[in-house]
Structure formats: structure tokens, C-alpha cells
Amino acid sequence: MSPDGPDWLSAARETLERATLGPRVEHRGRVEEIGDGVALISGLSDVRLDEVLHFAGGQVGFARVLDPDRIGCVMLDSGTDVEAGDVVFGTGEVVNVPVGEALLGRVIDPLGRPLDGKGAIAPEARWPIERPAPSIIERDLVTEPVQTGIVVVDTLFALGRGQRELIVGDHSTGKTTLAVDALIAQRDSDMICIYVAVGQKTSSVRRAIDALQAQGNFERCIVLVAGSASAPGLQWIAPYAGMTMAEYFRDKGQHAIIVIDDLSKHAATHREIALLTRQSPGREAYPGDVFYIHARLLERAAKLSPERGGGSLTALPIAETDQGNLSAYIPTNLISITDGQIVLDQTLFHQGQKPAVDVGLSVSRVGGKTQAPVLRAAAGTLRLDYAQFLELEVFTRFGGMPDGRVRQQLTRGARIREALRQPQHQPIRLVDEVALMLAVQTGLLDDLDEPLVAGFRAGLPAALDRDAASAVDAIASQGRLNDSTKAALLGAMTRLIDKLSADEPTP
């Protein structure tokens, strides 16, 4: 405003009234060294761990190492414009992220900044990325199932709300696909889905987002991305930021599921930061606290007691192995932290058995207590039967004609294997899983040619809705399998098998 204008004096008086007069305290330091996303800073003796630091050029970082003479600061922005001698300011605040309903349906970075071009986000609050895990007294038993829509998981390794289940396997064995399918299956449930990408390629993240948008309910999802090109600091805080965003819904009495893809790359980032900040290396050059950083992260997944609202947070962390080596440092750490693991095998994957789950090495330590009762009744001794088939199949490869009983076991096992095979991004309903297990366990598929099992599985939902609608509704509403619903399901499946057999071309 021009000083000659008529309102200049009143505007100047208003500016003076709004001004805060008096001394102002600034915590100021200087950059001693900068490189590879880490700055060593002196002069900030009062900084606390994980405190946000502002650089003179507008960049942001956080204090990760507190030595007596200097601070190890991990950059959350590009450090290319930061030079030695630049001024750094302490803020007194720890790293925090936005939380709330406004994040649903958005693609963001670990600081809550939008990456999808849909405009700014107005959060309900900002919470620190490091929050204490619920105490034992605040937790409840894990008894409610998480229906993943993946037959091999729901029938053999049932997951519960509040559980931590590791997905582990070699590179390109379907780990991300398995986790994304579990999120897609929540499109009709009451669970909020959070997908955290740590160090992943942009193309991989794009495929996951496209699958969630096309097949799932993306309006109930949060995608948090810290890609391979992101600053190391963003990759380091990403799992903690995602966990905080999920905890907002858990603490409100809602249910959430979070996928962290993956913690092997997160551990590598932690090792890089630790070595650059001159922490002592240990086994495989990882610092001694690498177990602790993942333990305190995954301990935050829990089922809360009714006094705390009864909400739950289920975690599906992903880890990568090298040549199936489950005894490597990071996989063994995560296996000991989590409540079970789903192991994906490279050989099975290349044989076309997808999902390539190794049923011998996989386990859910929560057990069948979380499995839907109707599915438990239908599956019966499936896991034992399948394990026996796999052993018998190995022995019969050496030659010789098996007797009638062994031949029947081999036939039944081959049908089980075909039933557990499933196309990606096509999770199925609970009632379809129940019917499929009934068909296998009752021997309904034994006389069906093995190549036709895939067609049977594909046509099953429509056949049940058409010929056994009352049984479908009864299972969906009551969650029980009685004689009448079982007979209705078997009748519908028998008609489907007859149709498939009749349509099969004669050789």
C-alpha cells in the first residue's frame, strides 16, 4: 500500500498491533559436512532425537544421531543445495504426519504431501511418527478373521485382525501381488487399507495403485510412496508414518490393515544412514539396532481391548530373500518379530503354481482360532492331505505303479493343488472358498479332468448365485455350514461339473 494513501496510517497501526514484540529464542547451528542425504551439524546441543531441523534454503531434515560434538541429520528433501557452513535451525518438534479421513483415496509421500495432483490435504490432526505400542493390558485376543480372498491363505494360514504376518520370498515371486490382493479383498469389508511402498520402482508402485483403483475400493485406501528415487530420510520414516496414519483409525475403534513393501529395503536404508553417520557396523554391516527399529514398528499392530474401543491394526510386512535363504539376518529378525510367515517359493512360481506359497515353510502362529468357522468346517484335514500328497508325489516320480489307495491320494492332491491356484487380483468370496473346499474334500473333483478345475473355479460364483442362492445368503449371514446348506452347495457344484464335462471336446 502506498504511504500516500488515505488508509496507510490505520493499516500501519494494525500491523504494529499484530506484531509480536520482545526477545525470540533461536536454536541455530551450522552444517559441518553434507553428502548422500546426511548432514553433520554442530552447535545444536539442545536438539532431541527425531527433532525436525530447518535449513536456510528451506530444506528439512531430522536429527537421527546425537553425539556430544555434532548431530547426524537425515535429509527429508534433496540436499544438493545445502553446503558446509549453511545455517540450520532447531524447531523443538519431532517428525509428525497428518492423520484423518482426508487421507483416504489419496497418494501421498511420508510427510503427507500429495503426489496425485488432487490438491492439498486438510488433515484432522498431526501425530508423531514414533508412538508407543499398546501395552499388554490394552490389548485383546486376536479372534476375528481377516478374509484375504486368497484360497491358500484363508484355508491354510488364516489371518486375524491385529495379527502381524510376514510375507517373505525371493525377488519376483509374487509378494506384492499377494499383499495387494489381500487389500483388494477388503473392498466390501469395514477395514481401512494402507499400502506403504519403500524403495520400490515407480512402475511397481503404479501397478499396485492401478490394481487397487480397478479392483478394490480405493476410496478406503491410503497409498504412501517413498520410491527408490526419494531421499533416504523419506524411505526411513515411511513405515512409521504409515503406521501412525493407520493407528488413527485403530484408536477410533475401526479396523485397518497395512502392507509395508518392503522392510528389506528399509533395513538397507537404515544401514546406509547408520554407516554415513558413523555408527558401529555389526552383522552384515547392519548396526546393532536394526532388530529394534523393526520390532518397535511392528509391535504397534494390535487388537485393542473393548475399553480402548476394540479397534484393530493388522500388519503385512514384506521381506525379500536371496536364493530362498530364510536364515539371512533381516528375514530371521522379522520372522521372530511377527506372528507367522507366508513363504513364497521361486520354483513353485516358475512352475505356474500361483500364489507360489510353500505350505511346508509357511505358518500362522495365531492358528485356526481366527479362521471363519464355516471355512474351518469345510476345509477339514486339507493341510494334512496336501502335505501327504506332496511327499507321495516325490516318491512316485522314481517310477513304479502306485496301488489304488495311493493313486486316489495322488488324484485328490492334484485337485487340491489346482484348487489352490488362483489368478492375480481376483480374490473370491468366503462362500466360494467354502464351496471349493467342500468340492475337494468330498471328492467331487476327483473325476473331473485336471485342466477343467480352473474352469470350475471360474464358474463357481455364478453357479452358486444361480442354483444355491439361499445357501449363499445363509452362509453370508449366519457363518455356519449345516446339512441343508451343504447339500445345496454340493447340488449346485454337481450341476456345474456335469456341464463342464458335457462341454469338454471329445479327443
Catalytic residue (one of 365, 407, 466, 480)? 365
DSSP single-letter state for residue 204 = H
Q: How far is CA 316 from CA 180, 195, 312, 313, in A?
A: 10, 10, 13, 10
365 is catalytic: yes
Q: Which three cell numbers stand for residue 9?
A: 496510517
Q: Are 250 and 304 in contact (CB under 8 A)?
A: yes
Q: Are 314 and 300 in contact (CB under 8 A)?
A: no
Q: How far is CA 114 from CA 102, 188, 266, 286, in A?
A: 11, 26, 22, 32
Half-sphere exposure of 96 (CA within 13 A, CB side): 13
Q: Annotate 28-39 with three-state secondary structure.
A: EEEEEEEECCEE
Burial status of residue 43 (CB atoms within 10 A of its CB: 0-12, 13-18, 19 or more): middle
Torsion sign across C-alpha atoms 53, 54, 56, 59: positive
**3-class secondary-structure state, position 387:** helix
Q: Are 243 and 266 in contact (CB under 8 A)?
A: no
The contacts of residue 302 (CB under 8 Å, 6+ apart) are 133, 134, 138, 139, 162, 250, 312, 313
Burial status of residue 503 (CB atoms within 10 A of its CB: 0-12, 13-18, 19 or more): exposed
**3-class secondary-structure state, position 90:** strand
Q: Which residues are catalytic?
A: 365
